[in-house]
Amino acid sequence: MNITDYGWLGKLSWDSIVFSDLISNFSVSAAVGSTAGAIVIFATIATLALLTWFKVWGTLWSEWLTSTDHKKIGIMYIVFALVMMTRGLLEGMVMRAQQAAAPDGFLYADHFAQLFSTHGTIMIFFVAVPFVVGLVNLVMPLQIGARDVAFPVLNQISLAVTVAAGMLLMVSLVVGEFSTGGWSAYPPYTGGDFNPGVGPDYWIWAIVFSGAGTTLTGINFTVTILKCRAAGMNFFRMPIFCWTVLCSSILMIFAMPPLSVAALMLGFDRYLDFHFFTNDLGGNMMNYANLFWLFGHPEVYLLVLPAYGIFSEVFSTYSAKRLYGYKSLVFATMSIAVLSFTVWLHHFFTMGQSPTINIVFGIATMLIAVPTGVKVYDWMATMYRGRIRFTTPMIYAIGFLILFVIGGLSGVILANPTVDFQVHNTLFLVAHFHNVLIPGVLFGVLAGYNYWFPKAFGFRLDERLGKWSAYLWIVGFMLTFFPLYGAGLLGMPRRSFSYMDLTFKPYMVVAFIGAMVVLCALISLVLQLLVSLRDRQKNRVPVGDPWDGRSLEWSIPAPAPSYNFAELPRVTDRDEFTEAKEQGRAYQPPKVYRDIEIPKNNPLGFLLCVLSGILMFALVWYMWWLALLTTLAIIIVVIASTFRWDSEQIIPASKVQQDTEKWLALVNKTEPVGRDLENTPQNNGYAKLEH
């Protein structure tokens, strides 16, 4: 059918709603799908009802949805990531259950294919990226001693389009179906000839919009780090987290465009009958594979580098030692960022290029293990002879250190083209990338979540449940994914919804048990948050330095004021705050109080979130009038926003003085607390100076 053959509602009809399948043609598979759809609808209604019940719409609007404060934007990113993680994790569970139950599973092949496609898409683009970006937003401007990111409204817009794209994925659970083409959506299978439904269109628009958000974020963070550092903070005085963020942001700027191009070209093929990647008339699928992995490989380093940064901070703080080999960590980070662009062909060793090319890319891939190894030794040396505290972030970090080496080594195995020919497209590969992404990225962001939570909200998370969660993640991960190495070596293909060879069965059963443990880990994570909210008075850390922190973000109250610093700091050392504490410079009033100018609230981000959400939905369902209308609305809203001339507000010096003096008075009457007591209610965020 031609794109003009549709009416007002485009392709949309009653049959598109997920429940219609359940009524017309009952099956367990349809029931699972309908349950997911029902959860989305119920959760939406429940959220709206709760917000109305607690009368928080006004606060939500003025404090959050229109906020340009980088800390709040960061928190919203993380909330969004946690919601999406719940979905992605449940999908993983359903898949493990299906494979454990095979050969008599309960899902249709198509349903299983949608599950692995959404699971991959969500976990990468809507969990890992927003979680990392959220933590960076929260912390990086504080670490470099800035008032905000370089472009606060752009920051808002990046969040807006990312969330809109995530919502689109949620809608796909209720209306229509998602792509069955995996997270990489290879054509020609995802082209119009083989996949005429709306599934790949959902994928395309979610990717294009969230990708645009990530590119803009990369620009924003890069400029922030290069231009907004406090006086005296030269590059080699920057906390290592900022270094990893800088490299990762540069990857965002250069790696996201190829993805946008690939997805848009696929869209042109599907919507307008172009022939970029089709089988006929000169289309070339390998162009897609090249574009996709030109993005896809840097993407994993884009995610893991900030996590390395978080681990570096965690190792250093909880070992109470200066980071070992700071400069080698910086150079290793930069090497990884550069090398990440030289390896993308290893994703298609088996697709027909010459052995010479395979060798070149195989060697390039193995080279990445060198700087990564440097980092691992630096982290170990940081712990050596330190006064280590086994806190929650530290458990994640040590779990990472051990498990990530295994994941990395399996990567070196895969980088050998001859081995790759044997195990590509098997569960060995699935085991490998989960083995790097879960300990590498997920443990990293969860460590960061536990580590910086008190800075964001002014109270500590419950340590006991935090440790439970960390151990459950570690054990659950090992049980789920180590069996997949075995099944993969035995030849079990990835993405198969069933199998006849029962040799695989025991592996799948263990993996399923592991998935249940991971579910317990998620539950304990949620419990931890709820318990901590309940006990927040007991666990408050208003002074702002609960862990004897070393960098600038710990030198201000928790939660930080909207303007971050009463007076922009002057930096003289790499571990500036530790240095200040040792020299007695910490907790000093500013020499002079000044008016501080910060951006006002702005509704632009929220408007763009709604409009781009509708636009994507209209495009997926071929509702051209609506697509045109929302596009026009977006243009008008953006132009109108450039006519806002009074976009700044002044926080008067008297207010800054009042806040600061109140805080300093609190510091004076608070008793410093030693590291041994940091997880007790005695800890009010004033760490005692210990050696």
Partner 1 sequence: MDGNSSALNKGLRESPGAIHKDPDMVIFGFWVFMMSDLIFFGVVFAIYITMIGATAGGPGPRELFDFGSLFAQTMLLLTSSLTVGIATITMKHQRSQGSFLFWVVVTLLFGLGFLTLELLDFSEMAAKGGIPQRSGYLSAFFGLVPLHGLHVSFGCLWMLVMIAQVLTVGMTDLVKLRFLRLALFWHFLDLIWIGIFSVVYFGGWVYG
Residues that bind partner 1 (CB under 8 A): 145-148, 150-153, 215, 218-220, 222-223, 226-237, 253-254, 256-258, 260-261, 265, 268-269, 272-276, 278, 280-284, 287, 291, 294, 563, 567-568, 570-572, 594-599, 635, 639, 642-643, 645, 648, 651
Question: In the complex, what is the shortest distance from the CB of residue 260 to partner 1, in angstroms, rounded to a whole number?
Answer: 7
Q: 295 vs 451, which CB is nearer to partner 1? A: 295
Q: What is the DSSP string of 91-160?
A: HHHHHHHHHHHTTS-SS-HHHHHHHHHHHHHIIIIIIIHHHHHHHHHHHHHHHTT-SS-S-HHHHHHHHH
User: Shortest Cβ distance from residue 206 to partner 1 (Å)?
Assistant: 19
Closest CB 364 distance from partner 1, rounded Å:
19
Closest listed residue to residue 189, CA positions, set 99, 291, 113, 137: 113
- Among residues 343 and 571, whose Cβ is nearest to partner 1? 571
How far apart CA 342 and CA 137 sit, in angstroms, is 29
Nearer residue to partner 1 within complex by CB, 288 or 400: 288
Structure tokens, 255: 């790696």
- Residue 306 CB, shortest distance to partner 1, in Å, is 19
Least Cβ distance, residue 461 to partner 1 (angstroms): 30
Q: How far is the CB of 416 from partner 1 (least distance, A)?
A: 28
Separation of alpha carbons 287 and 177, rounded Å: 27
As given in the structure block, the two tokens for residue 352 are 């027909």
CA-CA distances (angstroms) from residue 539 to 307, 395, 468, 547? 26, 21, 18, 13
Helices in 559-643 by DSSP H: which ranges?
576-582, 604-620, 624-641
Closest CA to 294 of 316, 248, 329, 261: 261
- Minimum Å gap between C-beta 214 and partner 1 is 11
Helix (H, G, I), strand (E, B) or coil at 651: strand
| Cβ nearer to partner 1, comparing 86 with 572 | 572
Alpha-helical (H) ranges within 340-462 are: 355-367, 369-383, 392-414, 417-423, 427-437, 443-457
Instruction: Name which of 180 and 215 has its Cβ closer to partner 1.
Output: 215
Pick the closer one to partner 1 by CB: 426 or 555: 555
- Write the CB contacts of 589 (distance below 8 Å, at least 6 apart in sequence): 566, 660, 661, 664
Query: Closest distance between partner 1 and the C-beta of residue 225, in Å?
Result: 11
Locate 477 and state its tokens: 């991960």
- In angstroms, the CA 367 to CA 372 distance is 9
- 11 vs 70, beta carbon nearer partner 1: 70
**Nearest residue (CB) to partner 1, 269 versus 420:** 269
Question: Residue 1 or residue 639: which is nearer to partner 1 going by CB?
Answer: 639
Token pair of 106 as six digits: 């309960």
Q: How far is the CB of 648 from partner 1 (least distance, A)?
A: 5
